[in-house]
Structure 1
């Protein structure tokens, strides 16, 4: 009897060993070294400033990004493909169009067309009557898998991100397990209707914003926890450097205001759960197999929007430790009001700034 118990136990141990070592996982991990999490300290110390925000669009599914239109109304895209518009304060809401995909980052061009980075459709344009045109759904022979955010230069050039060539937004956790740098910063020329890759090897390329006088463009790496700067003019033209590195959270969208502020939305602060395994691909596979049986505890909802000046100094530190506002993905300022959206909340909000 004892012998049977021992054999049975051995079979179970062997099965678990083989499962942890060999069972297929849905990603191909690579090694990557990341600096230690600096945490929320000094200028980024935790606070509850965002709790002073006012909720709007309650009941609307995941209004991710918000853009100000030439009609002085605000526009946002929803999870179900709809684009709605509304007056300041979140009133007089109406449907404007439906992309049939998932509209993410958006801006209006000089002609009054709404340019959208749609997760499934690519880069698209919608005119004032709601007519949609696909501007780009591939680049240099490869499919644009996850068009994410954009900005438009004074000459009409559209800079936009292709977050990943491997996963869609609802699979973003796979990016952290995998760490493959397949994100890209793309440039669309409306005159030639051509798209080129300006920067690649990004770890989930996300927010895009042009700096003052279009001298440079910033692109957020959500999984990379940093913001890169590509110089477009001057003696540094073509150079790439860090605007922010080793951030304590995962940067999503970014917008620039004429007041010289880059607003960066952080859907989450860093958890550190997987970071010790970033240089150990095999152990990440094992950890994933364990997590499928014993799911890890997810970080609590947290809200954070940071305003940086052009030198990278923190000017605004807006957080919500309580999680009333959380998973914030975008922030855009109109005069003294900061509107923000989320990819998980079924609402948006606005915050009155000091300016």
Structure 2
């Protein structure tokens, strides 16, 4: 009887343990299902719902880009020439999209705070604070200063993505020069160049439809809302030279000022507009089928044109180019989230015939990437970025053989 009772008691205990294990297992499975529901199913369902039914101002059209050029061989082959680039002001120069050389060797730039500042290129580090660059504050545009250039007549000219074409006054004031052309307001004033005599400014309205910073929506739509414009400092009039451009971005003049180049970011190309000669008033393609999205472009004074490539072409976007319905679904998502940026630094130099003279790259240029402007100054190149803090510096390989 004692033995029987002991066996029964042990069996009862084992049965309770089995039930407890089953109960814990069921609890774990229930928690796992809840975890999967909230962490996986709900976000996926929300993403699908937004892609199918969300609001978007974009109305994409089909187009067919050329096959992207090779990055393994040829003129755009990957390399690490920018790996040892020096970076300055990563603490306090906040996303400086452009750099403008000024008189007496100074540099100007603008930040995401709206502030426009002056830098001494010979003194870019505060003592004992290596990531801080000393600067003098000139003004705050109250918008987003993007491309800029120094006009010998009137001083610093800024293409402000939100406020239009601006002039920074000597006392620190901000004068609005132009905010519309032909009755169409600027949506996204992007970059600017001026003639040597300071008479004209050539500048871009990247998109008359999409505002700063909705550049991805304009590129996805591919309807051509960009314009190349000319401002006359004597009359105050603004004239449209070219329209229908695919996100009109960087702009620069040839050394003889017989043509102006404008980067079409959404079409991977550089377009040339003739100002003088037999082709005056006409446009053609200067460089086509670039390996990435061209941003600003600068002339070194000898018709060597430096082009910043902040991001390489995305195979998915090229694949979706002739699928406007899928691009529209993607645009619904991009209203709420940014398109992911893959770190890469790239700068290209072209001669007056559109031939590649130099190809500078690095997966990350000493931590610096997403270069939006290459500014040649003497024997150096300065890099700036609308996405990364600080400016970067390296020797110009075309000036330092």
- Give the TM-score normalised by the residue count of structure 2: 0.80
Residue aligning to 1:69: 102
Q: Is the 8 A contact 1:51 1:325 kept in 2?
A: no
Deviations 1:126-162 (A, max 9, x none): 1332222111011111111111001111342100000
Structure 2: gaps spanning 5 or more residues:
1-45, 126-133
Q: Indicate how the Cα distance of structure 1 residues 82 and 296 shifts in structure 2: closer, same or farther if over 3 A, else same.
A: closer
Q: Indicate how the Cα distance of structure 1 residues 37 and 192 shifts in structure 2: closer, same or farther if over 3 A, else same.
A: same
The CA distance in 2 between the partners of 1:306 and 1:18, in whole Å, is 41
Residue aligning to 2:85: 53
CA RMSD across the alignment: 2.4
The CA distance in 2 between the partners of 1:257 and 1:336, in whole Å, is 10
2:173 paired residue among 121, 125, 131: 131
Q: Is the 8 A contact 1:217 1:229 kept in 2?
A: yes
The CA distance in 1 between the partners of 2:47 and 2:340, in whole Å, is 25
Deviations 1:82-115 (A, max 9, x none): 0111111425422121111111111111225101
Matches within 5 A, 1:246-257: 246-257=289-300
Residue aligning to 2:379: 336
Following TM superposition, by how much is the alpha carbon of 1:62 offset from its aligned partner in structure 2, in angstroms?
A: 0.1
1:44 aligns with 2:76: yes
Tell me which protein shows more strand as a share of its residues: 1
Following TM superposition, by how much is the alpha carbon of 1:170 offset from its aligned partner in structure 2, in angstroms?
A: 2.3
Residue aligning to 1:34: 65
The CA distance in 1 between the partners of 2:335 and 2:173, in whole Å, is 44
Q: Indicate how the Cα distance of structure 1 residues 16 and 135 shifts in structure 2: closer, same or farther if over 3 A, else same.
A: closer
Q: Is the 8 A contact 1:206 1:252 kept in 2?
A: yes
Residue aligning to 2:343: 301
The CA distance in 1 between the partners of 2:48 and 2:313, in whole Å, is 31
Matches within 5 A, 1:316-327: 316-322=358-364, 324-327=367-370
Residue aligning to 2:392: 349
Q: Is the 8 A contact 1:73 1:88 kept in 2?
A: yes
The CA distance in 2 between the partners of 1:16 and 1:37, in whole Å, is 29
Tell me which protein shows more helix as a share of its residues: 2
Question: Quick check: which has more Rg, 1 or 2?
Answer: 2
Deviations 1:254-306 (A, max 9, x none): 0101233101001101012122221221232345568899x898352111011
The CA distance in 2 between the partners of 1:233 and 1:198, in whole Å, is 13
Residue aligning to 1:4: none
Give SS of 2:216's match. Answer: helix
Structure 1: gaps spanning 5 or more residues:
1-14
1:25 aligns with 2:67: no
Q: Indicate how the Cα distance of structure 1 residues 183 and 93 shifts in structure 2: closer, same or farther if over 3 A, else same.
A: same
The CA distance in 2 between the partners of 1:219 and 1:332, in whole Å, is 16
Corresponding pairs, count: 341
Runs of 4+ displaced beyond 3 Å: 15-26, 286-293, 295-299
Residue aligning to 1:119: 161
